[in-house]
Amino acid sequence: MTVDLDRIARANLREMGDIRIDDVLSFIDRGIENMPSYMDLYRRWEAQQWAVSDLDFTLDRQDWLEATDLDRKATLWSHRLFFNGEERVTATLAPFVWAAPTPEMEIFLSTQMVDEARHTVFFDRWWHEVAGTDAKNLGELLVEIRPDANEGYNELFYDRLPSTAQRLASNPKDFDAFVEGVTLYHIVIEATIALTGQRFELESMRDQGLNDRGFYKGFTAVARDESRHVSFGIKVLQEAVREDGERYAPLIQKTLVECLPLISGTLDPPDPSYVTEFGYTESEIVAYAMESLNKRLRAIGINLAA
């Protein structure tokens, strides 16, 4: 079946309930054959605006009140990782904008900052209206939901990501740092970890007939934003490898090899039933993540063989 990419590209929030995540992600794969320019990605951003305030979480709240304990625990585990992660990537992107080697990249990355802020607000609203919280502001809520007991996650979001951003802020002309940063941010965190988590959660909601919920629509819009971000990352690294493969391919490979255990660490639930309950296995999820990573690497023009 051919996917109607134009329909997905133009869909508004109301129509997101009819859209499957796999079809949204096929934009990235199509891009690989025919890479959009940075300004094409900018124009897509202009055409794909959506507002958190347009979502309706009434049914989501009803589901929450009727959910089993296991359901709630599994959802909270996933949403804590996402919510905190969205805020972390919002906070650390500005140095990438400064370090962008061309104005076209700078413009695209500025749109991405707005997206990441919107994704953070999406989870803030979900927390207030669905899960519930007494937190008085976003800062308090982020402290309340910060994921615990996950070494891989902590190392990625509290060590590697801020230190990469700091390295770029200290020396925005350091293109090696930019290449390593895009590998970490766009390829490891967004393309491999976030899109894998999103894919399994959205497919599980769809299997349960919950694709008319506010969360499903908003999270699908988030995934469509991520498909632009990932395309940007692939393009940056593909260009770097084409320009000087001997220099940049080993830099990208080194970053990936260091991050591999953190990927499975982050995706690994504290209780296996958080995924088996919904018909999946941990190894299936990690295998999907690795397969997506390998697809992106082929597009960039490298492989993982050390």
Q: Binding marks (x or -) toward Fe ion, 226..265, rule CB under 5 A?
A: x--x------------------------------------
Nearer to Fe ion, 84 or 211 (CB): 84
Q: Provide CB contacts within 8 A for 258, sequence distance 6+.
A: none
Span from 48-56, 94-102, 112-120, 285-293 in contact with Fe ion (CB under 5 A):
112-120
**DSSP codes joined into one string, 76-89:** HHHHHHHHHHHHHH
**Minimum distance, C-beta of residue 197 to Fe ion, in the bound complex (Å):** 11
Question: Is residue 269 a contact partner of residue 196, using CB atoms and an 8 Å limit?
Answer: no
Nearer to Fe ion, 85 or 214 (CB): 85
Q: Residue 189: name the closest of 90, 46, 282, 43 by CA.
A: 90
78 is written with which tokens? 């996933």
Nearer to Fe ion, 119 or 167 (CB): 119
* Helices 103-126, 214-267: crossing angle, 10 deg rounding: 100
Question: Is residue 306 a contact partner of residue 253, using CB atoms and an 8 Å limit?
Answer: yes
**Minimum distance, C-beta of residue 208 to Fe ion, in the bound complex (Å):** 24
Nearer to Fe ion, 112 or 249 (CB): 112
| 272 CB burial (10 A radius; 0-12, 13-18, 19+) | exposed
Nearer to Fe ion, 63 or 96 (CB): 96
CA atoms within 13 A on the CB side of 76: 20
Type of residue found at 91: A
**Minimum distance, C-beta of residue 238 to Fe ion, in the bound complex (Å):** 18
Residue 193: phi, psi to the nearest 5?
A: -85, -55
**Minimum distance, C-beta of residue 195 to Fe ion, in the bound complex (Å):** 9
Could you say whether residue 44 binds Fe ion (CB under 5 A)?
Answer: no
**Cα–Cα distance, 81 to 265 (Å, whole number):** 12
DSSP three-state, residue 172: coil
Span from 218-226, 234-242, 258-266, 270-278 in contact with Fe ion (CB under 5 A):
218-226
Type of residue found at 77: W
**Cα–Cα distance, 278 to 74 (Å, whole number):** 10
Q: Select the residue interacting with Fe ion from 119, 224, 228, 235 (CB under 5 A).
A: 119
Contact set for Fe ion, span 77-96 (CB under 5 A): 86
| 204 CB burial (10 A radius; 0-12, 13-18, 19+) | middle
**Minimum distance, C-beta of residue 201 to Fe ion, in the bound complex (Å):** 14
Nearer to Fe ion, 71 or 106 (CB): 106
**Minimum distance, C-beta of residue 172 to Fe ion, in the bound complex (Å):** 21
Nearer to Fe ion, 63 or 116 (CB): 116
**Cα–Cα distance, 162 to 166 (Å, whole number):** 6
- Say how many residues touch Fe ion, by CB under 5 A: 6
Q: Binding marks (x or -) toward Fe ion, 168..207, rule CB under 5 A?
A: ----------------------x-----------------
**Minimum distance, C-beta of residue 122 to Fe ion, in the bound complex (Å):** 9
Nearer to Fe ion, 60 or 226 (CB): 226
Instruction: List interacting residues with Fe ion (CB under 5 A).
Output: 86, 116, 119, 190, 226, 229
